[in-house]
Structure 1
Protein backbone atom coordinates (compact mmCIF):
# COMPACT_ATOMS: atom_id res chain seq x y z
CA UNK A 1 0.00 0.00 0.00
CA UNK A 2 2.84 2.33 0.79
CA UNK A 3 4.60 1.55 -2.48
CA UNK A 4 1.44 2.17 -4.52
CA UNK A 5 0.65 5.51 -2.91
CA UNK A 6 4.28 6.60 -3.24
CA UNK A 7 4.28 5.76 -6.97
CA UNK A 8 1.09 7.66 -7.53
CA UNK A 9 2.54 10.69 -5.77
CA UNK A 10 5.63 10.48 -8.01
CA UNK A 11 3.53 10.31 -11.16
CA UNK A 12 1.45 13.24 -10.00
CA UNK A 13 4.59 15.28 -9.33
CA UNK A 14 6.03 14.44 -12.73
CA UNK A 15 2.74 15.26 -14.41
CA UNK A 16 2.75 18.62 -12.70
CA UNK A 17 6.42 19.42 -13.28
CA UNK A 18 6.74 18.22 -16.90
CA UNK A 19 4.49 20.81 -18.60
CA UNK A 20 6.15 23.56 -16.63
CA UNK A 21 9.63 22.37 -17.56
CA UNK A 22 8.75 22.11 -21.25
CA UNK A 23 6.87 25.37 -21.48
CA UNK A 24 9.99 27.58 -21.63
CA UNK A 25 11.83 25.61 -24.38
CA UNK A 26 8.67 25.31 -26.46
CA UNK A 27 8.00 29.00 -26.15
CA UNK A 28 11.59 29.79 -27.10
CA UNK A 29 11.46 27.48 -30.11
CA UNK A 30 8.19 29.00 -31.25
CA UNK A 31 9.61 32.50 -30.89
CA UNK A 32 12.75 31.49 -32.84
CA UNK A 33 10.68 30.02 -35.65
CA UNK A 34 8.74 33.26 -35.95
CA UNK A 35 11.87 35.36 -36.11
CA UNK A 36 12.94 36.28 -39.67
CA UNK A 37 16.05 34.54 -40.98
CA UNK A 38 19.21 36.55 -41.44
CA UNK A 39 20.10 37.34 -45.08
CA UNK A 40 23.75 37.97 -45.86
CA UNK A 41 24.36 40.24 -48.88
CA UNK A 42 27.67 40.93 -50.59
CA UNK A 43 28.09 43.45 -53.42
CA UNK A 44 31.21 44.05 -55.48
CA UNK A 45 32.56 45.12 -58.86
CA UNK A 46 34.64 43.03 -61.24
CA UNK A 47 36.86 44.46 -63.97
CA UNK A 48 37.94 42.36 -66.93
CA UNK A 49 39.69 42.69 -70.25
CA UNK A 50 41.27 40.56 -72.90
CA UNK A 51 42.46 39.88 -76.42
CA UNK A 52 40.95 37.86 -79.24
CA UNK A 53 42.26 37.03 -82.70
CA UNK A 54 41.76 34.55 -85.47
CA UNK A 55 40.77 33.88 -89.03
CA UNK A 56 37.80 32.53 -90.98
CA UNK A 57 36.43 32.62 -94.51
CA UNK A 58 33.07 32.77 -96.17
CA UNK A 59 31.67 32.95 -99.69
CA UNK A 60 29.77 35.76 -101.29
CA UNK A 61 28.14 36.41 -104.62
CA UNK A 62 30.25 38.76 -106.69
CA UNK A 63 28.38 40.25 -109.64
CA UNK A 64 30.85 40.86 -112.44
CA UNK A 65 29.37 43.36 -114.90
CA UNK A 66 30.91 44.14 -118.25
CA UNK A 67 30.12 46.00 -121.44
CA UNK A 68 31.31 44.91 -124.88
CA UNK A 69 30.41 47.16 -127.86
CA UNK A 70 30.47 44.12 -130.17
CA UNK A 71 28.82 41.55 -127.94
CA UNK A 72 26.60 43.63 -125.69
CA UNK A 73 26.64 43.75 -121.91
CA UNK A 74 25.58 41.47 -119.14
CA UNK A 75 26.21 40.26 -115.63
CA UNK A 76 26.73 36.86 -114.07
CA UNK A 77 26.87 36.12 -110.34
CA UNK A 78 29.68 33.89 -109.13
CA UNK A 79 30.92 32.80 -105.73
CA UNK A 80 33.96 34.57 -104.33
CA UNK A 81 35.89 33.61 -101.23
CA UNK A 82 36.43 36.29 -98.59
CA UNK A 83 39.10 35.60 -95.99
CA UNK A 84 39.14 37.40 -92.64
CA UNK A 85 41.99 37.90 -90.21
CA UNK A 86 41.14 39.89 -87.12
CA UNK A 87 42.64 41.10 -83.84
CA UNK A 88 40.59 42.72 -81.11
CA UNK A 89 40.46 43.88 -77.50
CA UNK A 90 37.77 43.88 -74.86
CA UNK A 91 37.22 45.93 -71.68
CA UNK A 92 34.31 45.50 -69.32
CA UNK A 93 32.92 45.70 -65.79
CA UNK A 94 30.30 43.73 -63.86
CA UNK A 95 28.27 44.57 -60.77
CA UNK A 96 27.89 41.42 -58.68
CA UNK A 97 25.29 40.94 -55.92
CA UNK A 98 25.33 37.71 -53.87
CA UNK A 99 22.66 36.75 -51.32
CA UNK A 100 22.58 33.88 -48.85
CA UNK A 101 19.95 33.15 -46.20
CA UNK A 102 21.32 31.85 -42.92
CA UNK A 103 20.52 28.19 -42.39
CA UNK A 104 19.88 27.58 -46.09
CA UNK A 105 22.37 25.90 -48.44
CA UNK A 106 21.52 28.12 -51.42
CA UNK A 107 23.50 31.14 -52.58
CA UNK A 108 22.09 33.31 -55.38
CA UNK A 109 24.37 35.63 -57.35
CA UNK A 110 23.13 38.26 -59.78
CA UNK A 111 25.51 39.81 -62.29
CA UNK A 112 24.90 42.84 -64.52
CA UNK A 113 27.65 44.14 -66.78
CA UNK A 114 28.76 45.91 -69.92
CA UNK A 115 31.61 44.98 -72.27
CA UNK A 116 33.09 47.09 -75.06
CA UNK A 117 34.86 45.27 -77.90
CA UNK A 118 36.87 46.58 -80.82
CA UNK A 119 38.80 44.82 -83.57
CA UNK A 120 40.51 45.34 -86.91
CA UNK A 121 39.26 42.90 -89.56
CA UNK A 122 41.55 42.49 -92.56
CA UNK A 123 39.70 41.11 -95.60
CA UNK A 124 41.23 39.43 -98.63
CA UNK A 125 38.78 38.89 -101.44
CA UNK A 126 39.26 36.02 -103.86
CA UNK A 127 40.16 38.13 -106.89
CA UNK A 128 43.00 39.87 -105.03
CA UNK A 129 41.28 42.87 -103.52
CA UNK A 130 42.05 43.75 -99.91
CA UNK A 131 40.35 45.90 -97.29
CA UNK A 132 40.56 46.62 -93.59
CA UNK A 133 37.36 47.29 -91.69
CA UNK A 134 36.76 48.13 -88.05
CA UNK A 135 34.53 46.25 -85.63
CA UNK A 136 33.12 48.01 -82.58
CA UNK A 137 30.37 46.62 -80.38
CA UNK A 138 28.90 46.86 -76.88
CA UNK A 139 27.69 43.84 -74.95
CA UNK A 140 25.24 44.48 -72.10
CA UNK A 141 24.59 41.22 -70.27
CA UNK A 142 22.84 39.70 -67.27
CA UNK A 143 23.29 36.37 -65.49
CA UNK A 144 21.92 34.43 -62.50
CA UNK A 145 24.08 31.97 -60.58
CA UNK A 146 22.51 29.54 -58.07
CA UNK A 147 24.66 27.34 -55.85
CA UNK A 148 22.94 24.72 -53.68
CA UNK A 149 24.95 22.14 -51.78
CA UNK A 150 27.35 20.78 -54.40
CA UNK A 151 25.42 21.92 -57.47
CA UNK A 152 25.99 25.19 -59.27
CA UNK A 153 23.93 26.49 -62.22
CA UNK A 154 24.48 29.70 -64.16
CA UNK A 155 22.32 31.18 -66.91
CA UNK A 156 23.41 34.29 -68.81
CA UNK A 157 21.95 36.33 -71.66
CA UNK A 158 23.14 39.42 -73.51
CA UNK A 159 23.20 41.31 -76.79
CA UNK A 160 26.14 42.32 -78.97
CA UNK A 161 25.22 45.61 -80.62
CA UNK A 162 27.24 47.71 -83.03
CA UNK A 163 29.48 46.48 -85.84
CA UNK A 164 29.87 42.87 -84.81
CA UNK A 165 31.06 41.30 -88.05
CA UNK A 166 30.93 41.32 -91.85
CA UNK A 167 29.40 38.64 -94.04
CA UNK A 168 28.87 38.54 -97.78
CA UNK A 169 25.62 38.62 -99.75
CA UNK A 170 24.53 39.35 -103.30
CA UNK A 171 26.36 42.08 -105.19
CA UNK A 172 24.56 44.82 -107.10
CA UNK A 173 24.72 45.38 -110.87
CA UNK A 174 26.99 48.16 -112.05
CA UNK A 175 28.14 48.73 -115.64
CA UNK A 176 31.88 48.50 -116.21
CA UNK A 177 32.59 47.56 -112.59
CA UNK A 178 33.15 44.54 -110.42
CA UNK A 179 31.32 44.84 -107.11
CA UNK A 180 31.19 42.95 -103.86
CA UNK A 181 28.84 43.51 -100.96
CA UNK A 182 29.91 42.62 -97.43
CA UNK A 183 26.98 43.32 -95.13
CA UNK A 184 27.48 44.56 -91.60
CA UNK A 185 26.08 42.44 -88.76
CA UNK A 186 24.65 44.89 -86.21
CA UNK A 187 23.18 42.69 -83.45
CA UNK A 188 23.94 39.20 -82.16
CA UNK A 189 22.21 37.68 -79.11
CA UNK A 190 24.39 35.80 -76.65
CA UNK A 191 23.36 32.94 -74.38
CA UNK A 192 25.21 30.63 -72.02
CA UNK A 193 24.19 27.82 -69.64
CA UNK A 194 26.73 26.30 -67.25
CA UNK A 195 26.26 23.48 -64.74
CA UNK A 196 28.81 22.27 -62.21
CA UNK A 197 28.82 19.48 -59.65
CA UNK A 198 31.31 19.92 -56.82
CA UNK A 199 33.86 21.37 -59.24
CA UNK A 200 34.31 17.90 -60.73
CA UNK A 201 31.80 17.62 -63.58
CA UNK A 202 31.16 20.68 -65.76
CA UNK A 203 28.78 21.24 -68.67
CA UNK A 204 28.20 24.28 -70.88
CA UNK A 205 26.18 25.21 -73.93
CA UNK A 206 25.55 28.53 -75.63
CA UNK A 207 25.88 30.88 -78.55
CA UNK A 208 28.18 33.84 -79.10
CA UNK A 209 29.27 34.06 -75.47
CA UNK A 210 32.56 32.20 -75.57
CA UNK A 211 35.97 33.12 -76.96
CA UNK A 212 35.50 36.75 -75.94
CA UNK A 213 31.90 36.83 -77.09
CA UNK A 214 32.58 35.59 -80.62
CA UNK A 215 33.38 39.01 -82.06
CA UNK A 216 33.77 38.87 -85.88
CA UNK A 217 32.09 35.46 -86.19
CA UNK A 218 29.82 34.26 -83.35
CA UNK A 219 29.43 30.50 -82.98
CA UNK A 220 27.39 27.83 -81.20
CA UNK A 221 29.28 25.72 -78.67
CA UNK A 222 28.76 22.67 -76.45
CA UNK A 223 31.38 21.34 -74.04
CA UNK A 224 32.01 19.17 -71.01
CA UNK A 225 34.94 19.14 -68.61
CA UNK A 226 36.21 18.99 -65.05
CA UNK A 227 37.47 21.30 -62.37
CA UNK A 228 39.64 18.62 -60.74
CA UNK A 229 37.90 18.94 -57.38
CA UNK A 230 36.65 21.71 -55.07
CA UNK A 231 40.17 22.73 -53.98
CA UNK A 232 41.65 22.93 -57.46
CA UNK A 233 42.16 26.40 -59.01
CA UNK A 234 42.09 24.91 -62.53
CA UNK A 235 39.20 23.88 -64.80
CA UNK A 236 39.29 22.41 -68.31
CA UNK A 237 36.40 22.20 -70.80
CA UNK A 238 36.56 20.68 -74.30
CA UNK A 239 33.77 20.53 -76.85
CA UNK A 240 32.49 21.13 -80.35
CA UNK A 241 31.44 24.38 -81.97
CA UNK A 242 29.93 25.56 -85.22
CA UNK A 243 29.90 28.97 -86.92
CA UNK A 244 27.52 29.92 -89.70
CA UNK A 245 30.17 31.74 -91.72
CA UNK A 246 33.48 29.90 -91.86
CA UNK A 247 33.88 27.87 -95.05
CA UNK A 248 33.90 28.90 -98.69
CA UNK A 249 32.39 25.62 -99.92
CA UNK A 250 30.00 24.85 -97.08
CA UNK A 251 27.55 27.02 -95.17
CA UNK A 252 28.34 25.31 -91.86
CA UNK A 253 31.10 23.20 -90.39
CA UNK A 254 32.02 21.97 -86.92
CA UNK A 255 35.33 22.14 -85.11
CA UNK A 256 36.70 21.58 -81.62
CA UNK A 257 37.48 24.05 -78.87
CA UNK A 258 39.12 24.04 -75.47
CA UNK A 259 38.74 26.45 -72.56
CA UNK A 260 41.01 26.64 -69.52
CA UNK A 261 40.04 28.64 -66.41
CA UNK A 262 42.48 29.55 -63.65
CA UNK A 263 40.78 30.89 -60.51
CA UNK A 264 42.78 30.41 -57.28
CA UNK A 265 40.59 30.34 -54.16
CA UNK A 266 40.82 33.44 -52.04
CA UNK A 267 42.49 35.47 -54.78
CA UNK A 268 40.77 38.44 -56.44
CA UNK A 269 41.92 37.56 -59.99
CA UNK A 270 41.19 34.87 -62.53
CA UNK A 271 42.17 34.05 -66.12
CA UNK A 272 40.34 32.36 -68.99
CA UNK A 273 41.98 30.99 -72.17
CA UNK A 274 39.96 29.88 -75.20
CA UNK A 275 41.23 28.25 -78.41
CA UNK A 276 39.84 26.29 -81.36
CA UNK A 277 41.32 23.36 -83.25
CA UNK A 278 40.49 20.90 -86.02
CA UNK A 279 39.47 23.35 -88.77
CA UNK A 280 41.66 24.90 -91.45
CA UNK A 281 38.97 27.50 -92.16
CA UNK A 282 38.29 28.73 -88.63
CA UNK A 283 40.87 29.56 -85.98
CA UNK A 284 40.45 31.62 -82.85
CA UNK A 285 42.40 32.26 -79.68
CA UNK A 286 41.30 34.44 -76.77
CA UNK A 287 42.70 35.43 -73.38
CA UNK A 288 40.63 37.16 -70.71
CA UNK A 289 41.66 38.24 -67.21
CA UNK A 290 39.46 39.57 -64.43
CA UNK A 291 39.98 41.29 -61.09
CA UNK A 292 37.47 41.55 -58.27
CA UNK A 293 37.48 44.80 -56.30
CA UNK A 294 36.94 44.69 -52.52
CA UNK A 295 33.25 44.20 -51.84
CA UNK A 296 30.78 45.39 -49.24
CA UNK A 297 28.99 42.91 -46.97
CA UNK A 298 25.81 43.48 -44.95
CA UNK A 299 23.18 41.40 -43.18
CA UNK A 300 19.51 41.91 -42.41
CA UNK A 301 16.61 39.83 -41.14
CA UNK A 302 13.81 39.04 -43.53
Structure 2
Protein backbone atom coordinates (compact mmCIF):
# COMPACT_ATOMS: atom_id res chain seq x y z
CA UNK A 1 0.00 0.00 0.00
CA UNK A 2 2.85 2.36 0.86
CA UNK A 3 4.60 1.56 -2.42
CA UNK A 4 1.43 2.37 -4.36
CA UNK A 5 1.09 5.72 -2.58
CA UNK A 6 4.74 6.56 -3.26
CA UNK A 7 4.37 5.75 -6.96
CA UNK A 8 1.13 7.77 -7.16
CA UNK A 9 2.85 10.70 -5.47
CA UNK A 10 5.79 10.54 -7.89
CA UNK A 11 3.38 10.41 -10.86
CA UNK A 12 1.40 13.36 -9.52
CA UNK A 13 4.56 15.41 -8.92
CA UNK A 14 5.83 14.57 -12.41
CA UNK A 15 2.51 15.54 -14.02
CA UNK A 16 2.50 18.81 -12.07
CA UNK A 17 6.06 19.58 -13.22
CA UNK A 18 5.12 18.84 -16.85
CA UNK A 19 2.06 21.12 -16.63
CA UNK A 20 4.14 23.94 -15.12
CA UNK A 21 6.84 23.54 -17.78
CA UNK A 22 4.27 23.62 -20.63
CA UNK A 23 2.65 26.75 -19.19
CA UNK A 24 5.99 28.49 -18.90
CA UNK A 25 6.83 27.58 -22.50
CA UNK A 26 3.51 28.94 -23.71
CA UNK A 27 4.03 32.15 -21.75
CA UNK A 28 7.54 32.58 -23.15
CA UNK A 29 6.30 32.01 -26.68
CA UNK A 30 3.48 34.54 -26.19
CA UNK A 31 5.95 37.08 -24.81
CA UNK A 32 8.35 36.52 -27.73
CA UNK A 33 5.51 36.96 -30.22
CA UNK A 34 4.49 40.23 -28.58
CA UNK A 35 8.08 41.45 -28.61
CA UNK A 36 8.41 40.53 -32.28
CA UNK A 37 5.49 42.81 -33.08
CA UNK A 38 7.29 45.84 -31.63
CA UNK A 39 10.89 45.04 -32.55
CA UNK A 40 12.54 44.64 -35.93
CA UNK A 41 13.64 41.07 -36.49
CA UNK A 42 16.60 40.90 -38.85
CA UNK A 43 16.05 38.05 -41.29
CA UNK A 44 18.39 36.87 -43.99
CA UNK A 45 17.49 37.10 -47.66
CA UNK A 46 16.96 33.35 -47.80
CA UNK A 47 14.53 33.44 -44.86
CA UNK A 48 12.64 36.36 -46.39
CA UNK A 49 12.39 34.49 -49.70
CA UNK A 50 11.19 31.31 -47.99
CA UNK A 51 8.39 33.26 -46.32
CA UNK A 52 6.84 33.95 -49.72
CA UNK A 53 4.33 31.43 -51.11
CA UNK A 54 5.46 28.76 -53.55
CA UNK A 55 3.59 30.44 -56.40
CA UNK A 56 5.58 33.68 -56.07
CA UNK A 57 8.91 31.93 -55.43
CA UNK A 58 8.85 29.31 -58.17
CA UNK A 59 5.86 29.31 -60.52
CA UNK A 60 5.69 32.99 -61.45
CA UNK A 61 9.48 33.37 -62.09
CA UNK A 62 9.45 30.20 -64.21
CA UNK A 63 6.48 31.46 -66.24
CA UNK A 64 8.09 34.88 -66.75
CA UNK A 65 11.35 33.25 -67.84
CA UNK A 66 9.42 31.09 -70.33
CA UNK A 67 7.68 34.16 -71.77
CA UNK A 68 10.97 36.02 -72.10
CA UNK A 69 12.55 33.04 -73.87
CA UNK A 70 9.71 32.65 -76.35
CA UNK A 71 9.44 36.40 -76.83
CA UNK A 72 13.01 36.57 -78.14
CA UNK A 73 12.03 34.30 -81.02
CA UNK A 74 8.86 36.26 -81.87
CA UNK A 75 8.30 39.20 -84.16
CA UNK A 76 10.36 42.28 -83.26
CA UNK A 77 8.22 44.79 -85.10
CA UNK A 78 6.42 47.70 -83.40
CA UNK A 79 8.24 47.27 -80.08
CA UNK A 80 7.82 50.95 -79.23
CA UNK A 81 4.12 50.90 -80.04
CA UNK A 82 3.65 47.79 -77.90
CA UNK A 83 5.53 49.43 -75.04
CA UNK A 84 3.26 52.46 -75.32
CA UNK A 85 0.13 50.28 -75.32
CA UNK A 86 1.33 48.43 -72.21
CA UNK A 87 1.96 51.78 -70.56
CA UNK A 88 -1.53 52.99 -71.47
CA UNK A 89 -2.94 49.78 -69.96
CA UNK A 90 -1.15 50.48 -66.68
CA UNK A 91 1.58 47.83 -67.14
CA UNK A 92 -0.60 44.90 -65.97
CA UNK A 93 1.56 42.33 -64.22
CA UNK A 94 4.72 44.34 -65.07
CA UNK A 95 4.77 42.71 -68.50
CA UNK A 96 7.53 43.84 -70.85
CA UNK A 97 7.04 43.90 -74.63
CA UNK A 98 9.19 40.76 -74.94
CA UNK A 99 7.04 38.97 -72.37
CA UNK A 100 3.87 40.05 -74.16
CA UNK A 101 5.16 38.61 -77.43
CA UNK A 102 6.06 35.45 -75.54
CA UNK A 103 2.54 35.35 -74.10
CA UNK A 104 1.11 35.53 -77.61
CA UNK A 105 3.34 32.71 -78.83
CA UNK A 106 2.62 30.55 -75.75
CA UNK A 107 -1.13 30.89 -76.18
CA UNK A 108 -0.87 30.24 -79.94
CA UNK A 109 1.18 27.07 -79.41
CA UNK A 110 -1.09 25.85 -76.59
CA UNK A 111 -4.26 26.26 -78.66
CA UNK A 112 -2.65 24.67 -81.69
CA UNK A 113 -1.59 21.61 -79.66
CA UNK A 114 -5.04 21.38 -78.08
CA UNK A 115 -6.77 21.42 -81.46
CA UNK A 116 -4.24 18.93 -82.80
CA UNK A 117 -5.16 16.39 -80.10
CA UNK A 118 -8.86 16.99 -80.77
CA UNK A 119 -8.87 16.67 -84.57
CA UNK A 120 -5.99 14.33 -85.48
CA UNK A 121 -7.44 11.03 -86.66
CA UNK A 122 -10.98 12.39 -86.77
CA UNK A 123 -10.69 14.77 -89.73
CA UNK A 124 -8.80 14.81 -93.02
CA UNK A 125 -5.22 16.08 -92.79
CA UNK A 126 -5.82 19.37 -94.63
CA UNK A 127 -8.88 20.22 -92.54
CA UNK A 128 -6.99 19.36 -89.34
CA UNK A 129 -4.06 21.53 -90.45
CA UNK A 130 -6.42 24.40 -91.24
CA UNK A 131 -8.05 24.09 -87.81
CA UNK A 132 -4.64 24.10 -86.11
CA UNK A 133 -3.59 27.24 -88.00
CA UNK A 134 -6.85 29.00 -87.15
CA UNK A 135 -6.42 28.07 -83.46
CA UNK A 136 -2.84 29.41 -83.50
CA UNK A 137 -4.03 32.67 -85.09
CA UNK A 138 -6.77 33.04 -82.46
CA UNK A 139 -4.26 32.40 -79.69
CA UNK A 140 -1.95 35.05 -81.12
CA UNK A 141 -4.76 37.62 -81.43
CA UNK A 142 -6.43 37.12 -78.02
CA UNK A 143 -3.71 38.90 -75.93
CA UNK A 144 -4.02 41.94 -78.20
CA UNK A 145 -7.80 42.02 -77.66
CA UNK A 146 -7.24 41.71 -73.91
CA UNK A 147 -4.73 44.58 -73.99
CA UNK A 148 -7.13 46.83 -75.92
CA UNK A 149 -9.87 46.13 -73.37
CA UNK A 150 -7.49 46.97 -70.51
CA UNK A 151 -6.59 50.27 -72.19
CA UNK A 152 -10.24 51.23 -72.71
CA UNK A 153 -11.18 50.23 -69.17
CA UNK A 154 -8.32 52.20 -67.67
CA UNK A 155 -9.12 55.32 -69.71
CA UNK A 156 -12.75 55.04 -68.66
CA UNK A 157 -11.82 54.79 -64.98
CA UNK A 158 -9.47 57.79 -65.23
CA UNK A 159 -12.08 59.84 -67.07
CA UNK A 160 -14.67 58.96 -64.45
CA UNK A 161 -12.45 59.90 -61.49
CA UNK A 162 -10.97 63.09 -62.96
CA UNK A 163 -13.81 65.61 -62.22
CA UNK A 164 -14.04 64.67 -58.53
CA UNK A 165 -10.25 64.70 -58.22
CA UNK A 166 -10.06 68.18 -59.74
CA UNK A 167 -12.79 69.42 -57.38
CA UNK A 168 -10.80 68.25 -54.37
CA UNK A 169 -7.59 69.62 -55.87
CA UNK A 170 -9.21 73.00 -56.44
CA UNK A 171 -10.62 73.11 -52.90
CA UNK A 172 -7.24 72.18 -51.42
CA UNK A 173 -5.41 74.87 -53.40
CA UNK A 174 -8.02 77.49 -52.50
CA UNK A 175 -7.63 76.50 -48.83
CA UNK A 176 -3.95 77.49 -48.97
CA UNK A 177 -2.09 74.29 -49.86
CA UNK A 178 0.63 74.26 -52.48
CA UNK A 179 -0.07 72.39 -55.70
CA UNK A 180 2.19 69.45 -54.81
CA UNK A 181 0.65 69.06 -51.35
CA UNK A 182 -2.84 69.30 -52.82
CA UNK A 183 -1.90 66.65 -55.37
CA UNK A 184 -0.61 64.45 -52.53
CA UNK A 185 -3.88 64.91 -50.66
CA UNK A 186 -5.85 63.83 -53.72
CA UNK A 187 -3.58 60.81 -54.18
CA UNK A 188 -4.14 59.76 -50.56
CA UNK A 189 -7.90 60.26 -50.75
CA UNK A 190 -8.69 57.50 -53.27
CA UNK A 191 -7.19 54.28 -54.53
CA UNK A 192 -7.83 54.18 -58.26
CA UNK A 193 -5.95 54.54 -61.52
CA UNK A 194 -5.85 58.35 -61.36
CA UNK A 195 -4.66 58.49 -57.74
CA UNK A 196 -1.86 56.03 -58.52
CA UNK A 197 -0.81 58.20 -61.46
CA UNK A 198 -0.75 61.26 -59.17
CA UNK A 199 1.43 59.33 -56.73
CA UNK A 200 3.82 58.51 -59.55
CA UNK A 201 3.97 62.21 -60.49
CA UNK A 202 4.89 63.07 -56.90
CA UNK A 203 7.56 60.34 -56.87
CA UNK A 204 9.07 61.72 -60.08
CA UNK A 205 9.18 65.21 -58.56
CA UNK A 206 10.88 63.87 -55.41
CA UNK A 207 13.46 62.10 -57.57
CA UNK A 208 14.50 65.42 -59.11
CA UNK A 209 12.37 65.82 -62.20
CA UNK A 210 10.64 69.11 -62.81
CA UNK A 211 6.91 69.44 -62.38
CA UNK A 212 6.50 70.12 -66.09
CA UNK A 213 8.25 66.90 -67.11
CA UNK A 214 6.36 64.82 -64.54
CA UNK A 215 3.01 66.20 -65.70
CA UNK A 216 3.85 65.61 -69.36
CA UNK A 217 4.72 62.02 -68.54
CA UNK A 218 1.36 61.77 -66.79
CA UNK A 219 -0.37 62.92 -69.97
CA UNK A 220 1.57 60.39 -72.07
CA UNK A 221 0.88 57.50 -69.67
CA UNK A 222 -2.88 58.05 -69.54
CA UNK A 223 -3.72 58.97 -73.12
CA UNK A 224 -6.92 60.75 -72.01
CA UNK A 225 -7.78 64.03 -73.73
CA UNK A 226 -9.15 65.65 -70.56
CA UNK A 227 -5.96 64.82 -68.68
CA UNK A 228 -3.91 66.36 -71.49
CA UNK A 229 -6.02 69.53 -71.30
CA UNK A 230 -5.59 69.68 -67.52
CA UNK A 231 -1.82 69.18 -67.79
CA UNK A 232 -1.48 71.88 -70.47
CA UNK A 233 -3.45 74.35 -68.35
CA UNK A 234 -1.36 73.67 -65.24
CA UNK A 235 1.92 73.99 -67.16
CA UNK A 236 0.80 77.30 -68.73
CA UNK A 237 -0.32 78.63 -65.36
CA UNK A 238 3.04 77.69 -63.87
CA UNK A 239 4.96 79.38 -66.69
CA UNK A 240 2.87 82.57 -66.83
CA UNK A 241 2.40 82.97 -63.08
CA UNK A 242 -1.40 82.76 -63.26
CA UNK A 243 -3.31 81.89 -60.10
CA UNK A 244 -3.44 78.12 -59.86
CA UNK A 245 -6.78 78.12 -58.03
CA UNK A 246 -8.51 79.99 -60.89
CA UNK A 247 -7.10 77.60 -63.50
CA UNK A 248 -8.20 74.58 -61.47
CA UNK A 249 -11.66 76.07 -60.94
CA UNK A 250 -12.06 76.64 -64.69
CA UNK A 251 -10.86 73.11 -65.46
CA UNK A 252 -13.20 71.65 -62.85
CA UNK A 253 -16.20 73.48 -64.28
CA UNK A 254 -15.34 72.43 -67.83
CA UNK A 255 -14.94 68.78 -66.85
CA UNK A 256 -18.25 68.84 -65.04
CA UNK A 257 -19.94 70.20 -68.17
CA UNK A 258 -18.24 67.54 -70.33
CA UNK A 259 -19.37 64.80 -67.95
CA UNK A 260 -22.95 66.02 -68.25
CA UNK A 261 -22.64 66.12 -72.05
CA UNK A 262 -21.26 62.57 -72.13
CA UNK A 263 -24.16 61.39 -69.98
CA UNK A 264 -26.67 63.05 -72.33
CA UNK A 265 -24.91 61.50 -75.34
CA UNK A 266 -25.09 58.04 -73.75
CA UNK A 267 -28.80 58.59 -73.03
CA UNK A 268 -29.38 59.50 -76.68
CA UNK A 269 -27.60 56.33 -77.84
CA UNK A 270 -29.63 54.06 -75.55
CA UNK A 271 -32.75 53.75 -77.79
CA UNK A 272 -30.61 52.83 -80.80
CA UNK A 273 -28.78 50.15 -78.80
CA UNK A 274 -32.07 48.79 -77.47
CA UNK A 275 -33.47 48.43 -81.00
CA UNK A 276 -31.39 45.35 -81.89
CA UNK A 277 -32.45 43.16 -78.91
CA UNK A 278 -36.03 44.32 -79.32
CA UNK A 279 -36.15 43.31 -83.00
CA UNK A 280 -34.35 39.98 -82.67
CA UNK A 281 -35.41 38.86 -79.18
CA UNK A 282 -38.53 40.62 -77.88
CA UNK A 283 -40.61 41.00 -81.05
CA UNK A 284 -40.33 37.30 -82.10
CA UNK A 285 -41.54 36.25 -78.65
CA UNK A 286 -44.47 38.66 -78.89
CA UNK A 287 -45.35 37.35 -82.34
CA UNK A 288 -45.32 33.78 -81.05
CA UNK A 289 -47.61 34.67 -78.14
CA UNK A 290 -49.99 36.75 -80.27
CA UNK A 291 -50.10 34.74 -83.49
CA UNK A 292 -49.42 31.30 -82.02
CA UNK A 293 -53.09 30.40 -81.26
CA UNK A 294 -54.18 31.47 -84.76
CA UNK A 295 -51.67 29.27 -86.62
CA UNK A 296 -53.63 25.96 -86.21
CA UNK A 297 -56.82 27.64 -87.45
CA UNK A 298 -55.01 29.09 -90.46
CA UNK A 299 -53.50 25.68 -91.29
CA UNK A 300 -56.86 23.94 -90.97
CA UNK A 301 -58.51 26.55 -93.19
CA UNK A 302 -55.83 26.19 -95.85
CA UNK A 303 -56.20 22.41 -95.67
CA UNK A 304 -59.94 22.66 -96.11
CA UNK A 305 -59.53 24.98 -99.09
CA UNK A 306 -57.00 22.61 -100.66
CA UNK A 307 -59.33 19.63 -100.13
On whether the aligned pair clears a TM of 0.5, the verdict is no
Q: Identify, as 1 or 2, the structure richer in strand.
A: 1
* Higher Cα radius of gyration: 2
Q: Return the structure number with greater relative CO, CA threshold 8 A, min gap 6.
A: 1
User: Which bracket does the TM-score occupy, shorter chain normalised?
Assistant: under 0.3
Calculate the TM-score normalised by the size of structure 2.
0.21
